[in-house]
Amino acid sequence: MPTVGVVIYSEPIAFKDKIMSGMAATIKMVGDNGERCQVEFGLEKVDKSAIDWQTLEKIESPWTFSASGEIGNHSFGQNLDEIYKLNKDNDLFRQVYKYWKEFHLNDLQAGTLNQTEILKNCESTDYDDRCEFLKKNDLYVDRGYSYGSKWLTQIIPDAIVSQIKKLIIETRGWS
């Protein structure tokens, strides 16, 4: 059974003339190999506009999901795939892992949904190679947006935001 720590932004926090609000939690586990594992995850909303990666329309104050992990004293950051191997039977972690795979830093998309989908067929992760791949597939510019020219946002559906909030609340032990 994992132990749970909690971090919460109970009051909006102002920074760079913007207001941020959100909630987060920490799951502490012991992996199958006996190593300490920890995952911090949360949602935040910043009072700023963004561009939807699907429609390319302006949106206001979208939610952002983020998660990061630790394994022992030697692995930090985006290591949830490794944590999964050690904790695949932990139901709470598996839920966080699912959201991490789909929505981690959803406000930092280099491409539109169309560009991102076709790039699944590109073997390289190099930016210039990916641009060339998109050019060969006539998608470097999608509806006026040039790949990588600004950050786009993948909107987290309201139902998923509600599920993540519920997961954070349950992780805290609130009912």
Per residue in 9-26, pLDDT (tens digit) is 444 444 455 555 788 999
- Average pLDDT, rounded, for the chain: 87
- Exposure string of 54-83, with b = 16+ CB inside 10 Å and e = fewer, is eeeeeeeebbbbbbebbbeeeeeeebbeeb
User: What is the rounded distance in angstroms from the CA atom of residue 110 to the CA atom of residue 89?
Assistant: 33
Nearest Cα neighbor of 86 from 71, 74, 100, 101 is 71
pLDDT, tens only, 110-119? 999 999 999 9
Q: Rounded mean pLDDT of 25-44? A: 91
Q: Quick check: 34 pLDDT over 50?
A: yes
**Of 3-7, 33-37, 85-89, 117-121, highest mean pLDDT:** 117-121
Helix axes 91-103, 158-172, angle to 10 degrees: 140
pLDDT category at 61 given cuts 50, 70, 90 is very high
What pLDDT sits at residue 20? 54
pLDDT, position 174: 63
pLDDT at 173: 75
**How high is the pLDDT of residue 9?**
40
Which residues are within 8 A (CB) of 6 and not within 5 positions of it... i.e. 6 or more apart? 24, 25, 26, 171, 172
The string of pLDDT tens digits covering residues 158-174 is: 999 999 999 998 887 76
Residue 56's pLDDT band, with cuts at 50, 70 and 90, is very high
**pTM for the structure as a whole:** 0.81
pLDDT tens digits along 73-112 = 888 888 888 888 888 898 988 999 999 999 999 999 999 9
**What is the residue extent of each domain of the chain?**
3-48+60-107+155-172, 110-150
Q: Per mean pLDDT, which range of 27-41, 52-66, 107-121, 138-152 is the poorest?
A: 27-41
What's the mean pLDDT in 132-153? 98
For residue 6, give the nearest of 42, 30, 37 by alpha carbon.
Answer: 42
